[in-house]
Chains A and B, each alone.
Chain A
């Protein structure tokens, strides 16, 4: 009896030791969640494909659900079955997921690789680590593009965000996102509020009304968008004169699709996008998720992504490594939102403010829209 036990135990231990030794005590499949389109494609080429080359047996599944990642993760958590391993979300969603206990808190220095010169990850990413659960990946911005062929003859093309409100000089439709974030800030700025006072003003009911009153001036000429692809399409069709969207989308319209569209970098609003790892993964899947994130956020990999899309890498050490576009062969540096020439006048998305005021201001904004 004893002998059998001992034998069984030793066999079990050998098996355990063998499997621990094999490179993969990690799960052999992984579900990555992203936004679809050109952005997901850039991640696939820059991160997933090289990673898969290192782990040929790994099966990578993509899910294009980042848009509703928070709602879906909450539903998965309630059902007790998390099917995602690494999820790409904007920073504000990462904060919400962290608040709800749906994303895992991580130690950035422990999980992520240091920069080539040895700088710790937390210093390399710096202030961009806006939440304990958030692993920054890119800096993107929301800014305006305009149809170059619709600029009235004899006038300068629009160059400032307040030109959006100037219907006399630049007649035509505008497209704005169907939510208060960014629009309220631009409205107050163009109503004469100093940049560093915008959020103080916006915190008061009078300030909110002031922003809505300013938006009222152009309300009849606005097409409201809800998907990132809308403004590029509206610009390409000539439906609108100018419109706000993500800078990468505008890059694609201007450089890849060769449309007569110009870029306005003034008062672009910086925002962050990055990875989170959901709370509640099994040990194997967690090990795989961590391994992938560690690989995908090193200095070179982040710089590689900029070959495919014009979003700025979140690491300081990646910036000098940004090269040329993989297909067009143009230098990507000047197309980055963080390029000094583009970043003369910018605003940073205020995560704390919007976490608090989002529900309240959104209710007012939607009521104003519906009037």
Chain B
């Protein structure tokens, strides 16, 4: 419609409001084009007095809305079940929030650390790591982080798993001393009173909200439930870390364990935080809330304890915590978004010095991309060669014979993909039908049977066979529309068989070849089952690696990056095809 130049000249369709709209527009343009001296007739009005242009535009809008409503079910269906999941999946190729969600304080402290120096960062970072890892291991999220980081640095999976087991033993001796000194530190009720500041005390609700967000980010669950606890403002001012640890404990107790805060003894991490804050010499003189006397007495006692040292404790759990590599990896992958997966997908890796190529023994993806494109082209080419004569026959034979032939083309189409692929295995293997026949005929020696499967050849043969109908059908429907009289006319004018075919018939069938090629090429680029079964090691595609990372290694980020690249390559090729051949020249019938 947009190409409509002047007044509604459509002949085939009935006039629509849009036609009238254009008509009105041309009319007004004419009005405007009048010489300045001429008297203008003013805007043309509709029957109800509104300007015609506006009322037509309204009519047009209503019509467009109706059209949209008609396709809405399909549109919503496609958006919800196709576009949204794909977008979500592809988003994983850059998403990396797991590190900063699991170890928020550590990541923050690590920002200032210079990775180029020897060894691990200092005590301060390890203290944050302790509080982060303690919470993460209570929520059982630390092993997920270990799995994630193990993709980048071998060994992190078991490091996080084993340290997660040891983390509640850190500060064990000091906690024992605390509990031996006064057994109130083992009493649930005493702790609850101390931390909540007693009834009617002013509460620090901001801290609860902060910890709700922290836990929600860590676990992905909802922590909005009412927990029946809020830290007292006084104690939260005095002992901020203890209050924070206790609040996290309270939220976790209510939401995950479905227990009552006042009936549960707090975590080791809470006691460790208390011991550290008391040792740091917090001024208790102004405090007169619940447990004030016990706190003061305990402060004197803990001053004599051995300090809790986190770095040696972590190193005792696993000496790998002292190595530079571990911390470089954590620092490098701490931002919420990463280019790491995409770099992996093109055989590169992130290093502190920027992206670098992987060692040659680990390069695989670029080669697989190239192989996928090359083999898809070969498959498309062989489909054209094999499909063209068949399509020509179909289009030119008498109806009855053509129908029979058509069934033969469609028959494999209705057979299960797995069955067809397995059938090729039986045909092509060394003890298979083809080799047996050739040995029987004496063409090859029994000892040197041909290797036709588990390599590129096998994949190309099987996939050409499987994708052939996608080539034949569009070619056939285009060839059917080519009037035979053209070729006859060429022949009667003296053209040879070849000339009349090549100069007259073939150019008219090109749109069918184009449509078939696009179908076959794009289908084969994403093929996975057939190369997996008959491809061996040299005939597999990039899609086999994507499938491996989705279902076996669970590295969904890398799979998403590989998938994104594949999608972009296909779109670029499609664009190039449109530029060179023109998508208008593609006909499916």
List residues of chain A with CB under 8 Å of any chain B CB.
67-68, 70-71, 74, 96, 98-101, 173, 178, 209, 223-224, 226, 237-239, 352, 355-360, 362-364, 366-370
Binary interface profile of B, 119-154, with partner A (CB < 8 Å = 1, else 0)? 000000000000000000000110110110011001
Cβ A101 vs Cβ B144 within 8 A:
yes
Contacts of B555 in A (CB 8 A): 359
In the bound complex, how far is the Cα of B154 from the Cα of A238, in angstroms? Answer: 40
Cβ A71 vs Cβ B554 within 8 A:
yes
Cβ B554 vs Cβ A74 within 8 A:
yes
In the bound complex, how far is the Cα of B468 from the Cα of A48, in angstroms? Answer: 45
B258: min CB distance to chain A, Å: 12
Within B151-183, the residues touching A (CB, 8 Å) are 151, 154-158, 161
Cβ A367 vs Cβ B362 within 8 A:
yes
B440: min CB distance to chain A, Å: 16
Contacts of B432 in A (CB 8 A): 237
In the bound complex, how far is the Cα of B537 from the Cα of A287, in angstroms? Answer: 46
Contacts of B454 in A (CB 8 A): 223-224
Task: Sort A-B residue pairs by CB-CB distance and give the 9 closest, nearest first.
Answer: A99-B143, A68-B551, A360-B154, A71-B551, A367-B364, A369-B537, A101-B140, A238-B431, A356-B158
Q: Does B367 contact A (CB under 8 A)?
A: yes
Cβ A357 vs Cβ B429 within 8 A:
no
Given contacts A70-B554, A100-B144, A237-B429, 20 further A-B contacts (CB under 8 A): A74-B554, A98-B143, A99-B144, A99-B161, A100-B143, A100-B147, A209-B361, A224-B537, A237-B432, A239-B429, A239-B431, A356-B154, A356-B157, A359-B151, A364-B361, A364-B362, A367-B362, A370-B367, A370-B537, A370-B538
Residue of A nearest to B532 (CB): A226
In the bound complex, how far is the Cα of B555 from the Cα of A74, in angstroms? Answer: 12
Cβ B158 vs Cβ A352 within 8 A:
yes
Within B513-539, the residues touching A (CB, 8 Å) are 532, 536-538
In the bound complex, how far is the Cα of B432 from the Cα of A298, in angstroms? Answer: 47
In the bound complex, how far is the Cα of B150 from the Cα of A362, in angstroms? Answer: 13
Q: Does B317 contact A (CB under 8 A)?
A: no
Contacts of A237 in B (CB 8 A): 429, 431-432
Q: Does B363 contact A (CB under 8 A)?
A: yes
In the bound complex, how far is the Cα of B552 from the Cα of A239, in angstroms? Answer: 28
In the bound complex, how far is the Cα of B149 from the Cα of A99, in angstroms? Answer: 13
Chain A interface main SS type = helix
* Inter-chain residue pair count (beta carbon < 8 A): 80
Contacts of B140 in A (CB 8 A): 101
Residue of B nearest to A100 (CB): B144
Contacts of B431 in A (CB 8 A): 237-239
Binary interface profile of B, 440-455, with partner A (CB < 8 Å = 1, else 0)? 0000000000000010
Q: Does B100 contact A (CB under 8 A)?
A: no
Whether A359 touches B150, Cβ cut-off 8 Å, given contacts A98-B143, A367-B364, A370-B367, is: yes
Q: Does B348 contact A (CB under 8 A)?
A: no
In the bound complex, how far is the Cα of B540 from the Cα of A357, in angstroms? Answer: 24
Q: Which of B154, B367, B537 has the most CB of A within 10 A?
A: B537
Cβ B362 vs Cβ A363 within 8 A:
yes
Residue of A nearest to B159 (CB): A356
In the bound complex, how far is the Cα of B158 from the Cα of A350, in angstroms? Answer: 13
Q: Does B262 contact A (CB under 8 A)?
A: no
Cβ B141 vs Cβ A362 within 8 A:
no
In the bound complex, how far is the Cα of B158 from the Cα of A169, in angstroms? Answer: 42
Q: Does B430 contact A (CB under 8 A)?
A: yes
In the bound complex, how far is the Cα of B148 from the Cα of A99, in angstroms? Answer: 11
A214: min CB distance to chain B, Å: 15
Q: Does B22 contact A (CB under 8 A)?
A: no
In the bound complex, how far is the Cα of B140 from the Cα of A340, in angstroms? Answer: 40
11 A-B pairs with CB atoms under 8 Å apart are A99-B157, A100-B143, A100-B147, A101-B141, A178-B537, A355-B157, A355-B158, A356-B155, A358-B553, A360-B154, A370-B368
Contacts of B538 in A (CB 8 A): 370
Q: Does B545 contact A (CB under 8 A)?
A: yes
In the bound complex, how far is the Cα of B539 from the Cα of A333, in angstroms? Answer: 42
In the bound complex, how far is the Cα of B430 from the Cα of A45, in angstroms? Answer: 38
Contacts of A96 in B (CB 8 A): 147, 554
B214: min CB distance to chain A, Å: 18
Residue of A nearest to B220 (CB): A78
Binary interface profile of B, 242-271, with partner A (CB < 8 Å = 1, else 0)? 000000000000000000000000000000
Q: Does B550 contact A (CB under 8 A)?
A: yes
Cβ A370 vs Cβ B364 within 8 A:
yes
In the bound complex, how far is the Cα of B147 from the Cα of A360, in angstroms? Answer: 12
Whether A99 touches B147, Cβ cut-off 8 Å, given contacts A239-B430, A355-B158, is: yes
